[in-house]
Amino acid sequence: MVTAKPKGKLTYANYAATPDDERWELIDGVLYRMAPAPNVKHQIASKNLGRLIDVPVTAGGLGLLLYAPADVILSEQTTVQPDLLYVSAGRFRIITQRACEGPPDLVVEILSPSNTAHDLAVKREIYARYGVPEYLILNPDAETVLALSTPVSDGSIGVYTSETRYRSGDTLTIGAIPGLAIAVADIFASPLQWVRRAAP
């Protein structure tokens, strides 16, 4: 059961004043410092999924894919930095010089030991509350993708009502990008395997 959480009083102005060499998120008026640098598995999953989405959407003029760090301003008291975010061409009005100002069509978070609870609980509720249609949670260690969709909210609490878990051998489809089918194994495929095989 998701319950409403206490709200802080900080705003986007406070968020914008954080040091440039540090990464922060502002959620319900509370600042959260993010982990300094993602691990290699995290980076590989981000690069692979980014390429698998970006190539077809760019070629088809379907939308815009952005990588972290890129701000998503959901309200005056909530600004987040998903690992990947996608905005369809028909909604480019929410892309401004400073940020994506409104819910993207798709957000992606990639789990690491320092952010698992934050992404699985806090960010899940926030994205649903603000009406992000699809939220993908990648687990590089388990090589799974948790796909959440159909958000509902009463304005103070949000939940996703549809949930599908994809594993290696499955094919991931993304509602925000019709016709796109991605082999889950390709998301987590590591070029390091080939480097090690080629080493003398």
In tens, the pLDDT along 102-154 reads 999 999 999 987 767 777 888 999 999 999 999 999 999 999 999 999 999 98
Q: Is residue 8 part of a domain?
A: no
Q: Please state, for a pLDDT cut of 90, what percent of the chain lies above it.
A: 66
Say if residue 3's pLDDT is above 70.
Answer: no
In a domain, 28, yes or no: no
Q: How many domains does the chain have?
A: 1
This prediction has a pTM of 0.87
Lowest mean pLDDT among 17-21, 127-131, 164-168: 17-21
Tokens of 101: 């100002």
Determine, yes or no, domain membership for 86: yes
Q: Does residue 85 fall inside a structural domain? A: yes
Q: State residue 113's pLDDT score.
A: 76
- pLDDT of residue 159 exceeding 70, the answer is yes
Judge whether 17 lies within some domain: no
3-state secondary structure of 115: coil
**Within-domain flag for 70:** yes
pLDDT of residue 182: 96
Q: What gap in Å lies between CA 110 and CA 197, rounded to an integer?
A: 27
Peptide bond into 151 cis (omega under 30): no
pLDDT digits (tens, 9 = 90+) for 168-195: 999 999 999 999 999 999 999 987 664 4
What residues have CB less than 8 Å from 63, skipping those under 6 apart?
A: 57, 86, 87, 88, 89, 91, 105, 176, 177
Query: Other C-beta atoms within 10 Å of 22: how many?
Result: 9
The mean pLDDT of 10-31, rounded to a whole number, is 88
> Can you tell me which residue has the tokens 């028909």?
90
pLDDT digits (tens, 9 = 90+) for 69-113: 899 999 999 999 999 999 999 999 999 999 999 999 999 999 987
CATH code, domain carrying 103: 3.90.1570.10
Q: Is residue 22 part of a domain?
A: no
Look at residue 158 and tell me if it is in a domain. Answer: yes
Question: What pLDDT is recorded for position 121?
Answer: 83
- What's the pLDDT at 1? 34
Question: Which domain does 165 fall in, by range?
Answer: 37-198
Ranges of H-type helices in the chain: 12-16, 40-59, 116-117, 123-129, 184-188, 191-198
